[in-house]
Structure 1
Amino acid sequence: MDFQQLNSDFGIPRQLEIIPGPGGMPMIKVDNGSARALISLYGGQVLSFQPLEQAEDVLFLSGQSAYTEGKAIRGGIPVCWPWFGPDPKGLQRPNHGFVRNHFWQLTKTEAVSDSETTVSLRFTDRFKQENTWRKPFLLMLDISIGPILRLKLTTCNTGNEPFSITQVFHSYFRVGDIKRVQVLGLEDCDYFDKLDQGIQKTQKGIVTVAREVDRVYVEAYKNLVIVDPVLKRRIHINSPNTSTAVVWNPWLKTSKKMSDLADTDYQRFICVEAGNVAFDLIQVQPGSQFSLQANYSLLPD
């Protein structure tokens, strides 16, 4: 990887540089007047977002992540596409699709202002020969680092036949103590409990976590809030083009089975994910496109 050339093409003085990360993987480091961020070209994955006034990162990143091709990085905001969860066709393809396990192409960077930096990545159909996804497509990811972290994932159907996708921004949020966290905005929503044979249930009151949780909420609200009394902050998640949301925490037993997660890491994160999953299946017609968007910010006290 020619980091000198990458910085010549895309670097922004005093705002953005491309650096070698763990395993030599190229990382985009942003440091502007609003926030610091780290984006991995492997997986097209935001690994860190920390507004300057925050003592702690908004995102959780496992210290035991594998930075190896073919393995996903544990934490940050992985992109799950063109399916979420297990292979929908049972062909033993990777969980959560394949784009989080390959390198993306950096296409553009821009200093919008002293306090906002944008990064554009793309992923093409060059992997469809792997028996992974035999559909012509172009995937574009636009990331804005400012007072608000904005993500926009656009799926373009470049072929002659429609195809369907599910997708999620699999966001890991750093919290002080999972047992004291509340998730607002899912009250009275129905959800599928993946830990109880996928049975459909109804959320009673505010979401709290006291054991392993793996739920897909349907007809979810487009504005959710994570209340963290330990770190004394409220994380706002806005997702205008979704009707489903995922809440996940592996708790201790499952964490012990995960080689890229420390046994006690579950205490320090919660996944609240914006996406189009379950019955929110997106069909993309030939020559058309669909965008998944998510905006992450900290609400004032």
Structure 2
Amino acid sequence: MDIQQLNRDFGIAGQLEIISGQGGLPMIKIDNDSASALISIYGGQVLSFQPLDQAEDVLFLSQQSAYTEGKAIRGGIPVCWPWFGPDPKGLQRPNHGFVRNHFWQLANTTTISASETKVSLLFNETYKKENTWRQPFMLLLDIGIGPSLQLKLTTFNTGDTPFSITQAFHSYFRVGDIKRVKIFGLEDCEYFDKLEQGTQKTQKGVVAVTKEVDRVYVEARRDLVIVDPVLQRRIHINSPDTSTAVVWNPWSKTSKKMPDLANLDYRRFICVEAGNVAFDLIKIQPGSQFSLQANYSLRPD
């Protein structure tokens, strides 16, 4: 991509510029009166969001991430679409779908105010490499950078037959010490434990992480809160269009098997993911659309 041309078309003086980031990938750098942010056009992925009053980024980004076409960037908020988790048809397609592994198209940038900036990215059916997904579609990802981080992923069925998807914002949140973090809002929810062959269990009390965890919560509340006493903040997650939530941390043993994570990185993040996952299958009729939304905001602990 031509960085200079992208800046001529989409740059906003004093607020937004397109830069050559890690691995030479084009990235959108935002600095406004509320926050700074970094968005990778590759993957349509928010990599950083840091309100001006915060000493630490809201998001975790691995220092060992690959910035190579065909590989996902580890951290930030990857977009999982049109499936979450392993290939549902067993065709050896990539985990979490294919849109996080390819370039999106920068469609629009807007200054809402000195304190809020919006970016729109497109991904559509003209992408033909994923030849095992044949349904015509278009994705529109709207990103709002202001006092909070706002995401809206809209799937358009541009074909003449219905299709079904699962999807998620695979958000990695930076924390001070995983052993001291608590997640509120999932109390008494049923969940499927992916580390125990999907055994169904009930969440007793708030979620605390003391070992590897990989859970899909069903009938989850739309408002979840990560309480981090070390960084002295609460991360609020609001997702009005979902009934499932995912909580994941690989812990020490699995982290050592992941080349794009340092051995001790598991201590510094928790994934609490808004999405339509597992049984929350979304069927989209021809000419129709569906939006997944999430709002991430901070409050002092």
TM-score, normalization by structure 2 = 0.99
Matched, 1:37 2:37: yes
Mark the runs of 5 or more structure 2 residues left unpaired by the alignment.
none
- Could you tell me the percent identity over the aligned residues? 80
**Using the alignment, how far apart are the partners of 1:75 and 1:300 within structure 2?**
23
Q: Deviation string for 1:156-201 (max 9, x for gaps)?
A: 0000000000000000000000000000000000000000010000
Residue 114 of structure 2: aligned partner: 114
Residue 83 of structure 2: aligned partner: 83
State the number of aligned residues: 301
Residue 54 of structure 1: aligned partner: 54
SS of the residue aligned with 1:130?
coil
Q: Deviation string for 1:222-247 (max 9, x for gaps)?
A: 00000000000000000000000000
Letter in 1 for 2:198: G
Residues 173 and 269 in structure 2, CA contact (< 8 A), matched pair in contact too: yes
Letter in 1 for 2:139: L
**Using the alignment, how far apart are the partners of 1:170 and 1:17 within structure 2?**
25
SS of the residue aligned with 1:30?
strand
Mark the runs of 5 or more structure 1 residues left unpaired by the alignment.
none
Residue 223 of structure 1: aligned partner: 223
Matched, 1:172 2:172: yes
Matched, 1:135 2:159: no
- Taking the TM superposition and a 5 Å limit, the aligned residue runs for 1:179-218 are 179-218=179-218
**Using the alignment, how far apart are the partners of 1:129 and 1:45 within structure 2?**
20
SS of the residue aligned with 2:192?
strand
SS of the residue aligned with 1:195?
helix
**Using the alignment, how far apart are the partners of 1:258 and 1:105 within structure 2?**
29
**Using the alignment, how far apart are the partners of 1:180 and 1:128 within structure 2?**
45
**Using the alignment, how far apart are the partners of 1:2 and 1:96 within structure 2?**
29
Q: CA deviation at 1:128?
A: 4.1
Letter in 1 for 2:272: V
Q: Deviation string for 1:114-173 (max 9, x for gaps)?
A: 000000000011234532311000000000000010000000000000000000000000
TM-score, normalization by structure 1 = 0.99
**Using the alignment, how far apart are the partners of 2:12 and 2:129 within structure 1?**
36
Residue 156 of structure 1: aligned partner: 156
**Using the alignment, how far apart are the partners of 2:217 and 2:126 within structure 1?**
33
Q: CA RMSD in A?
A: 0.7
Q: Deviation string for 1:101-123 (max 9, x for gaps)?
A: 00000000001000000000000
Letter in 2 for 1:47: L
**Using the alignment, how far apart are the partners of 2:295 and 2:15 within structure 1?**
21
Residue 101 of structure 1: aligned partner: 101
